[in-house]
Structure 1
Amino acid sequence: MRIEMPKGARFIIGRILQEGYDAYLVGGSIRDVLLGKNPKDYDIATSATPESIIGMFEKTVPIGIKHGTVEVVTDDGCFDVTTFRSEEGYINKRYPENVRFIEDLIEDLRRRDITINALAYNDEKGLIDPFGGFNDLNHRLIRAVGHPVERFKEDALRILRAVRLATTLDFNIEESTLLGIIEEMDGLVYISVERIREEISNILMSENPGRGMRMLFELGLIKYVLPELLPLASFNQFNRYHDKDVLGHTLEVLDRCPRNLHVRLAALFHDSGKPRCFTIDKDGVGHFYGHEKESASIARDVLQRLKYDNRTIHLVDKLISLHMVPSEMKNEVKLKKFAVNMGIANIPLFLGLKKADHGGKPDIGGIHASKLIEFEKRLNEILERNDPLELKDLAVNGDDLKSIGIKDGRLIGKLLGILLENVLETPGLNTRERLLEIAAREAENDNRGN
């Protein structure tokens, strides 16, 4: 079996072997190649010490020298080269207290998390697979290396990685590994929010985000990573427009969303406020008045806790807050104001969420779908006409109003708002001459009123 690798990686391995050391391609890159995927990066493991690696190559960067990692710069890119090591005495279920450099590849692979990541390869010795990772690849299984409880006790982040790999690869988690996850899940309290955020984002951006989130619920992990979503589980909506509980609907919407992190985060939280807003009328029908605002509030709190960037928090907030905008809206002025509020560039994201949300509900006769098609058509017609939509689109500004004698800053702001309302209603008014006429008239009326 020959595994293709970049020229830079083959050059590095060849050079290290020439110097009398062992060197192999290791980990996820081998897994991905065997699965017919394009690896994101290629890692190399070696018996050579970091100092030896630095001496062998012209350009190196000691990016993790404490743990034996040196980045080697080649004409074909940069590659991480790490000395074989063993780890002992893990602190806070995450960080090894002692790292010892060794010369044994098998012992180095033994410390890794999942069998399909504990593979090594070079052209001389072929595939090195001491823990059955190749067989697990063929059987689409996620299996811990060695004893699962020990692996997860050492590093609780491996629990989320196992779920993420099962999600992104569409694999199953082997039984003893599942039991190890359940036994050691309390260790997740030691994992940083940044690491949790990264794993959640990776799950959401997979081809099976709903499956990944359901696994977090079914294994009981959700209480450690997204406890705010716990109330969604088995929450009956008691409404004929919903044939699933809130969680079931949420996961279906998630799977229907375009592959965009902002949209998928919005989908995950878009109904999170429903349990707090639930009321039931005299006929036994459930209602969730104002749930979009409550859901947006929950999403903001969670995304801030997980330290997402401000742009992501703001956009997800906006998508959730506006996801209940009625598809029946036909008034052009209201449509224009909605487009500005959502942000012109974000309209496709909004429509992606809206379509996924409607797709996750019963649609007898295709009524929802047809309304959405018309809604999107109306929005696109407005945007394609390039109508003025915001103050910056007006043919005049504050300086123009000052030029006709209007000096009061408060009045200038008021008049610009009035001019925009006129232009939203009648785009043809957006000329300097017409707008100054309207402004002068409105200013005179304002003076009379005072």
Structure 2
Amino acid sequence: MYINLDERLQFILNILNEYGEGYLVGGALRDIFLGFKPTDFDMATNIPMEELLHILSEHNPIIISEKYQVISIQVDEYKIEIARFRKENGILDGRNPQKFKFVENIEEDLARRDFTVNALAYNNNKGLIDKYGSIKDIENLELNIIGEDKALRLAEDNTRIYRALYLVSKYNFKLSCETKKAISNFKNHRKLNVSISGFGRLLDKILFNKYSYKSLKIMLDNDLFKFFIPELSVDNLDNATIKNTVNTYNVYCKYNVFEDKTIGYAILFLYSGKSKLDDNKFLVNSMIIAESYLKKIGLNMTDIILVKNLIYYSNIISRAINKETVKRMLFEFRNNKNVSKLLNFISFIHHHDDNYNETMKKTLELLSRIQSIYFEGDVVFINDLDINLVDLYNIGLDTEISKESIRQDIYKHVNEGNLNNKKEDIIEYIKDKYNVKFNVVKVSSAGGIVYRINRENNIEFLLVKILGGNWGFPKGHIEDNETKVMTAIREIKEETNLETIIVDPENFQKDISYITNTGELKYVTFFLARAISHNVLIDIGEISEYKWCSYGDALKILTYSSHRKLLQEARLYIFKE
């Protein structure tokens, strides 16, 4: 069989076969036959590592394992790992073989592989080597362990259990009867030789794929969490809880939101605090368990807090809630995106309930409460405050004072009606409470969100890089006897040499304010400006660089969130018109 490999991969194989033998092996071949495009490639060779480092020196090889003679090279976007043929024997510690030796033929090397679907080898000289019926198992999506004693092969390297579950979650492989039996033997084991961080990496690969719910069921049924998260063991979860967890995860995968890991982790830990002995008020326990584990595997604190909030508020539609409860929830979730995650999470949890329609009715009632808070003009999220972290830094607060704590304090006073959500009022409050000597100097400016329609009939926005490094829109001070519109047109012309027409200035003018690092309180009014000339010539005294960008690229480049919000509003207005 001939496989048409990328010429860059074939080039490396040709080098290996010039100096010895070399094969493409393992998962990359499996993926090719499954119709996936691999980006990481494993190769195997009989060439000693010292010689391999020399012949591949122009590719800057990195030694991965001196003991097993494994190196890695990067060829454009392809990462290639090359290992020397070896044979392994015995169990040392559940992770490494008792002994091994380097060998000269690929067949002996393939015998040490874990599953038949990973035991293919290929080069142009010998074609495809399929010693274990790998192609048949790939076609049947069946996962078989190589070797006579299946349980022994898993005991040789405990991570093979979780690698099997990854293949189930990613490709929808079925476990063969022998593989199922070998995995079930680990119910009786007391420990596995896998670190908590190693387990975290493996679990992360298992949980966030199209068929992850199938792997989750196997893990729960076979008590494979007990080694690392004992609260998810069969001693703590009854059959009904396991069924609910798997069903919820099935919906999560079905709706293709598995890329959002916070919801996945929230589902996993939702019932972790619900032991058979305590069926009440378990959510706080579940939050504690989730935080403890997620910290150990190194998940960032922002995501950990979100997972905890999803768990805590998962039953909010069943509570007696008032406006204060809803506002507290919104404060915890910080933005609309996270609130949407909660609503999805609630839907997933109750998807299989007989009274699902009633659940959706209560969810809509919650959404209506949230919308009413918006319409009343209340500050919903902490980011709705008319002062941000950059402003707080530029005011000159003591560096030891937590800026986030100050924002929470301001949010509380604004929502209690004791403080207006206006930047000047907030500044006065901060000056009084924290004894800050800050003199407000107001400066008024105007500018434009400049756009054009390119030859492909796509909208492009003009971004300018201010001297000092911030990407934004053209703007400048309002001079005597100028209107804001006049200033916007003049500043765009002076900074970029573009002639523009201001689009519907009566209905589209957006105001922002911010505190500069020089202590000025700037008020800027932005208009929507359509370019009617083409040649950009920047004012090098003000601007260091410019770019015409698509909407998506502009969102990535703009420095400040206030400008990204302006861009979103401008784009919506253009499409509406």
TM-score, normalised on structure 2?
0.63
2:338 to 337, 346, 355: 346
Report the equivalent of 1:33: 32
Say yes or no: does 1:421 pair with 2:415.
yes
Counterpart secondary structure, 2:29: helix
Q: Letter of the 1:175 partner, please give it.
A: C
The letter for the 2-side match of 1:74 is V
Corresponding letter in the other structure for 1:24: Y
Deviation at 1:198, TM superposition (A): 2.2
Write the mapping of 1:119-268 to structure 2, written as runs, cut at 5 A.
119-147=120-148, 148-183=150-185, 186=189, 188-229=191-232, 230-231=234-235, 233-234=237-238, 245-257=240-252, 258-259=257-258, 260-268=260-268
Match of 1:315 among 303, 306, 322: 306
Alignment of 1:26-65 (within 5 A): 26-57=25-56, 58-59=58-59, 60-65=61-66
Q: Report the equivalent of 1:7.
A: 7
Name the CA distance, whole Å, in 2 between partners of 1:130 and 1:193. Answer: 35
SS at the partner of 2:47? Answer: coil
Matched, 1:358 2:353: no
Q: Percent same amino acid among aligned pairs? A: 25
3-state secondary structure, aligned to 1:246? helix
Letter in 2 for 1:7: E
Q: Deviations over 1:355-406 (max 9, x none)?
A: 2112142225x1212332453465468679794643882469999x9xxxxx
How far apart in 2 are the matches of 1:329 and 1:227?
33
Determine if contact 1:419/1:438 at 8 Å carries over to the other structure. Answer: no
Letter in 2 for 1:142: L
With CA pairs under 8 Å and 6+ residues apart, which has the higher RCO, 1 or 2? 1
Distance in 1 (CA, whole Å) between partners of 2:73 and 2:412 is 62
After TM superposition, the structure 1 stretch with the greater mean CA deviation from structure 2, 429-438 or 319-328, is 429-438
Shift of 1:22: 1.3
In the other structure, the counterpart of 2:512 is none
Provide the C-alpha distance between the structure 1 equivalents of 2:378 and 2:50, rounded to a whole number of angstroms. 62
Task: Render the CA deviation track for 1:184-206: whole Å, top value 9, x for unaligned.
Answer: 56285222222222222222112
8 A Cα contact 2:39 2:78, kept in partner:
no
Q: Do the aligned residues in 2 keep the contact of 1:152 with 1:184 (CA within 8 Å)?
A: no
SS of equivalent to 1:67: coil
How far does the alpha carbon of each residue in 1:315-337 deviate from its partner, in whole angstroms, 9 at most, with x for none?
32222122222278885554333
* Cα deviation, residue 143, structure 1: 0.6
Pick closer, same or farther for the CA change 1:381–1:131 going to 2, 3 Å: farther
Please say which structure displays the higher CA radius of gyration. Answer: 2
- 1:372 and 2:339 correspond: no
Indicate the structure with greater helix content.
1
- The CA deviation at 1:51 is 1.6
What CA distance in whole angstroms lies between the structure 2 residues aligned with 1:61 and 1:423? 61
Q: Partners of 1:87 and 1:436 in 2: how far apart? A: 70
Determine the C-alpha separation between the residues in 2 that align with 1:38 and 1:108. Answer: 25
**CA–CA distance in 1 between the matches of 2:368 and 2:272?**
29
2:374–2:380 CA contact under 8 A, matched in 1 = no
Partners of 1:329 and 1:375 within 8 A in 2 = no
Measure how far apart 1:45 and its partner are: 0.9
Match of 1:283 in 2: none
* SS class of match (2:14): helix
Give secondary structure in 1 for the equivalent of 2:131: coil
CA distance in 1, matches of 2:50, 2:77: 22
Contact 1:328–1:371, Cα closer than 8 Å, also in 2: no
Structure with bigger strand share is 2
In structure 1, distance between residues paired with 2:410 and 2:145: 65
CA contact (8 A) 1:140 1:172 kept: yes
Hey, what's the Cα distance between the residues in 2 that align with 1:120 and 1:301? 43
How far apart in 1 are the matches of 2:331 and 2:425? 23
Aligned 8 A contact 2:94 2:192 in 1: no
Q: Structure 1 residues 379, 51: CA separation in 2 closer, same or farther (over 3 Å shift)?
A: farther
CA contact (8 A) 2:154 2:161 kept: yes
Contact 1:50/1:69 (8 A) holds in 2: yes
In 2, Cα distance between the equivalents of 1:181 and 1:355? 33
Give me the TM-score of the superposition, normalised by structure 1: 0.79
- Could you tell me how far apart the structure 1 residues matched to 2:51 and 2:159 are? 31
Deviation at 1:94, TM superposition (A): 0.8
Change (3 A) 1:431 1:314: closer
**3-state SS of the aligned residue for 2:317?**
coil
Structure 1 pair 432–305 and aligned structure 2 pair: CA distance change class (3 A): closer
CA drift of 1:272 comes to: 2.3
User: Using the alignment, how far apart are the partners of 1:25 and 1:382 within structure 2?
Assistant: 60
Amino acid at match of 2:251: R
Give secondary structure in 2 for the equivalent of 1:326: helix
Q: Name the CA shift for 1:8/1:347 in 2 (closer, same or farther; >3 Å).
A: farther
Using a 3 Å threshold, how does the CA distance of structure 1 residues 391 and 46 change in structure 2: closer, same or farther? Answer: closer
- Aligned partner letter, 1:96: P
Native 8 Å contact 1:337 1:389 kept in 2: no
Offset at residue 116 of structure 1 (A): 0.3
Contact map agreement 2:116 2:146 (CA 8 A) in 1? yes
Please show how residues 89-100 of structure 1 align to structure 2 within 5 Å: 89-100=90-101
Q: Deviations over 1:221-262 (max 9, x none)?
A: 343343312245435xxxxxxxxx222111111122221222
- Find the aligned partners of 2:133 and 2:363 in 1 and give their Cα distance: 50
Query: 2: CA distance between counterparts of 1:253 and 1:40?
Result: 32
Deviation at 1:417, TM superposition (A): 6.1
Q: 1:439 to 1:314 in 2, by over 3 A?
A: closer
Q: List per-residue Cα deviations over 1:397-418 (Å, max 9, x = no partner).
A: 999x9xxxxxxxxxx9998466
- In structure 2, how many angstroms separate the alpha carbons of the residues matched to 1:39 and 1:438? 57
Letter of the structure 2 residue corresponding to residue 157 of structure 1: T
Q: Distance in 2 between matches of 1:125 and 1:54?
A: 25
Once the two structures are TM-superposed, the CA of residue 122 in structure 1 deviates from its matched residue by 1.8
CA distance in 2, matches of 1:304, 1:415: 27
Deviates more, 1:87-96 or 1:129-138: 87-96
Output the aligned Cα RMSD. 3.8
Structure 2 stretches of 5 or more lacking a match?
A: 396-405, 432-577
Aligned 8 A contact 1:113 1:151 in 2: yes
- Residue type of the alignment partner of 1:272: S
